[in-house]
Amino acid sequence: MTTEARARNSKDNKPKTAGERFWHEVRGYAEALAVAFLIVTFVFTTVGVVGSSMRPNLDGGSGQLPQALFTGDRVFIPKFDTWLRRLGVLGEYDRGDIVVVREPRNAPSLQEGNRRSFFIKRVIGRPGDRLRIDGGQVYVNGAAIDQSFISGTGEIDPDPIDFPVVTVEDGQVIGFEGLIRGTYDPVSGGPAPVDSDETQFYYGNTIAALAPIPADAPEGEPFLHELVIPEEHYFVMGDNRESSKGGSEDSRYFGPVESIAIAGQATAVIWPPRRENGWNWRLLNPPAAFDEVPEEPAEQAVAGTSKAN
């Protein structure tokens, strides 16, 4: 063994100081964290479903948050897909896709102090789509969406709501009826003044997205109108649309969401592998009902349906 080799071997066998051992450990953890960060940012991540907003198609578990995270469905999110969409390489999300959305600043739950960093919802309307909800039935571009993927099990019966309901005078919107207390007239139950602080806070972006008012719109009485989803926005809803069963907080409450607020698309349920009815692993493909939606909106908005009490 040469003198140089003996010196190198002696150096390698020299006991490490406490400081050296500390930085060796720190470096190991830092490298592991860096790799994990890169994976969850650019490759894939998983998200646990909590709550009842996507029933009957996703199980949000039971009990308080820690327990719900263990008992609820966990979905797979390919992050590369998200970045490719943001770079314009891939197109828009499809109607019927299930997406993870950052909580909007005007979400009612946030105002009540029940902060949830992310929601999981289904894309209902894409940029340019015309949308309305008549008695709980969703219409997109004039086509009624078959909602049997929600109601088919008998667990969920969508509330018979109308959205958006407005009042106009001289061709101008003066009233808007929202689903949040304070955004409807407590006496008549009809639209609240469109310029009220609460209406503007929760529904300002929705009001801005209203379709043009038709010439034959009823004067001074509430009627069901339509939205035109703005560019780079999506109208999202949970599958659970029955308020008595913990119904979804979604675009009916805070309006269309910006595309940048979508953190990823849920493509599969990966955990738990089984539930009492059988295998739980499955792909989350859009329901066939969305295949029937025409790409181009109907020429004329369906407005003028009176909703006066």
pTM listed for this prediction: 0.84
Residue 75 and residue 284 in contact, taking contact as beta carbons nearer than 8 Å = yes
pLDDT of residue 189: 73
CATH number of 43-306: 2.10.109.10
For residues 86-90, average pLDDT: 87
What are the residues whose beta carbons fall under 8 Å from the beta carbon of 265, sequence distance 6 or more?
77, 78, 81, 82, 93, 97, 98, 99, 100
Confidence class for position 180, pLDDT limits 50, 70, 90: confident
For residues 38-61, average pLDDT: 81
Q: Which two tokens stand for residue 306?
A: 């009176």
More confident residue, 306 or 17: 17
Cis status, amide bond into 56, omega within 30 of 0: yes
pLDDT digits (tens, 9 = 90+) for 105-161: 999 988 887 776 899 999 999 999 999 999 999 999 999 999 999 999 999 999 999
CA distance 155 to 57: 10
pLDDT of residue 157: 96
CA distance 249 to 307: 23
Active site residues: 53, 121
Q: Which two tokens stand for residue 14?
A: 């020299």
Confidence class for position 36, pLDDT limits 50, 70, 90: very low
Confidence class for position 224, pLDDT limits 50, 70, 90: very high
Domain ranges of the chain: 43-306
Task: Report whether pLDDT(166) > 90.
Answer: yes
